[in-house]
Amino acid sequence: MATLALKSVKKAFGDTTVIQNMDLSVEHGELVVFVGPSGCGKSTLLRMIAGLETLTAGEIHIDGQRIDYQPPSNRGIAMVFQSYALYPHKDVRGNLGFSLKHAKVDKAEIDKRVNIAADILGLQDLMSRKPRELSGGQRQRVAIGRAIVREPKVFLFDEPLSNLDAALRVHMRVEILKLHQRLKNTMVYVTHDQVEAMTLADRIVVFRNGSVEQVGTPLELYRQPANQFVAGFIGSPAMNFLKARCVDGHIALGSDRVCDCPQAEEGDVTLGMRPEHLKIDENGQLQGEVQVFEHLGGEAFVHLTLDDGQNLVAKLDGEHYLRPGERCTLGIEPEKCHVFDTAGLRISTD
């Protein structure tokens, strides 16, 4: 168990600043997920915590001790990478124990820790197999096992599941959650996948261009995104954004009143509506024509062009079936609407 603190951390490669003045605290035993678009600096930050990259400015503390000038092996950190790069000529046992052997830990201790990790990850039956004799998910478990045997204070995961197929990703996501519940270690987990972020995280940190857009629990980010960027990033399919106007304290789409918003100024705003909050309702506020209807069995997505020309996606239950060209009227409860000002900041509708 350990706390992790980043204090005014900056990173530049030459003239390009990749991480701008980052402050962040991770509590004992917390699983914090970093999400953000490609190139926003997630891996760079993780690599700085691990000691694989130097800091341009700032400090990193673990349990209150400054560690950013320490070599990676002294930081009490273990990192699991997307490309797990196991040693091809060593079997599972050899791969799991390698870092301890290298650190000259005695054999009895290595055996003990390797066996504990193998039990946790269900690898006992595979101990004498070589990596080429393992499935992708089994290899990924060995990569996680290599981190566990080191008994780190902090685990760092950099997109550990992105090489796996969809079903295995779901399975491994649950395995990682179980691992966290069992070990109760502090973990920092990087992913592109907002479903992984929502399901794994105690708190999510949303990055953009090397700075933090918002930090919060998954439901805080889903329900009260600070701005349009976070709103569009969290939730799948993504939130719909429509051009709307604030008139007399309410938000209007054309002549239809959608919700109250006493705090917005008169004029242009962006109205945000999650696809799952839209329902077929003949008295609803949104009329349009079906462009595409995607049926997934249990649920369906309707892509609608509204009468003012704006496009919208709604997630309906699988009972519905609509045809392209058909008219459709959708409604949304006013309290489910999000309103953003012209700078993209969220305005409370209370």
Ligand X SMILES: Nc1ncnc2c1ncn2[C@@H]1O[C@H](COP(=O)(O)OP(=O)(O)OP(=O)(O)O)[C@@H](O)[C@H]1O
Task: Summarize as ranges the residues that interact with Mg ion (CB under 5 A).
Answer: 43
Task: Determine, following the binding rule CB under 6 A, whether residue 83 of this chain makes contact with ligand X.
Answer: no
Token pair for 277: 């909050």
Phi, psi (rounded to 5 degrees) for 124: -55, -35
| CA dist., res. 245 & res. 157, Å (int) | 43
Look at the chain and count its residues. 350
Task: Give the one entry of Mg ion, ligand X, none that residue 60 binds, where binding means its C-beta sits below a cut-off of 5 to 8 angstroms depending on kind.
Answer: none
Token pair for 261: 């918003």
Is residue 152 reached through a cis peptide bond, with omega within 30 degrees of 0 on the bond before it? no
CB of 47 to ligand X, least distance (A): 7
Interaction residues for ligand X, span 127-186 (CB under 6 A): none
Comparing CB distances to ligand X, the nearer of 44 and 199 is: 44
Is 94:87 a contact under the CB 8 Å cutoff? yes
| CA dist., res. 212 & res. 342, Å (int) | 20
Greatest CA separation for the chain: 76
Q: What angle do CA 339, 340, 345 make, to 5 degrees?
A: 135
Task: Determine, following the binding rule CB under 6 A, whether residue 41 of this chain makes contact with ligand X.
Answer: yes
Q: Which stretch binds ligand X (CB under 6 A): 36-44, 115-123, 221-229, 325-333?
A: 36-44
Task: Determine, following the binding rule CB under 6 A, whether residue 62 of this chain makes contact with ligand X.
Answer: no
Q: Which residue, among 20, 31, 341, 17, has the nearest Cα to 183 in the 3D structure? A: 31
List the x/- string, 188-227, binding to ligand X by CB under 6 A. ----x-----------------------------------
Task: Determine, following the binding rule CB under 6 A, whether residue 40 of this chain makes contact with ligand X.
Answer: yes
Task: Determine, following the binding rule CB under 6 A, whether residue 38 of this chain makes contact with ligand X.
Answer: yes
> What DSSP line would sit under 286-334, residue for residue?
EEEEEEEEEE-SSEEEEEEEETTS-EEEEEEETT----TT-EEEEE--G
Is 156:44 a contact under the CB 8 Å cutoff? no
- Out of 20, 44, 70, 211, the residue judged to bind ligand X by CB under 6 A: 44
Alpha helices (runs of H) in the chain, residue ranges in sequence order: 42-50, 92-102, 107-121, 136-149, 166-183, 194-200, 218-223, 228-233
Comparing CB distances to ligand X, the nearer of 36 and 97 is: 36
Task: Determine, following the binding rule CB under 6 A, whether residue 69 of this chain makes contact with ligand X.
Answer: no
Comparing CB distances to ligand X, the nearer of 43 and 270 is: 43
Task: Determine, following the binding rule CB under 6 A, whether residue 15 of this chain makes contact with ligand X.
Answer: no
Q: Which stretch binds ligand X (CB under 6 A): 40-48, 98-106, 127-135, 139-147?
A: 40-48
Comparing CB distances to ligand X, the nearer of 68 and 341 is: 68
CB of 19 to ligand X, least distance (A): 8
Task: Give the one entry of ligand X, Mg ion, none that residue 40 binds, where binding means its C-beta sits below a cut-off of 5 to 8 angstroms depending on kind.
Answer: ligand X
Task: Give the one entry of ligand X, Mg ion, none that residue 218 binds, where binding means its C-beta sits below a cut-off of 5 to 8 angstroms depending on kind.
Answer: none
Q: Which residues bind ligand X (CB under 6 A)?
A: 13, 18, 36, 38-44, 192
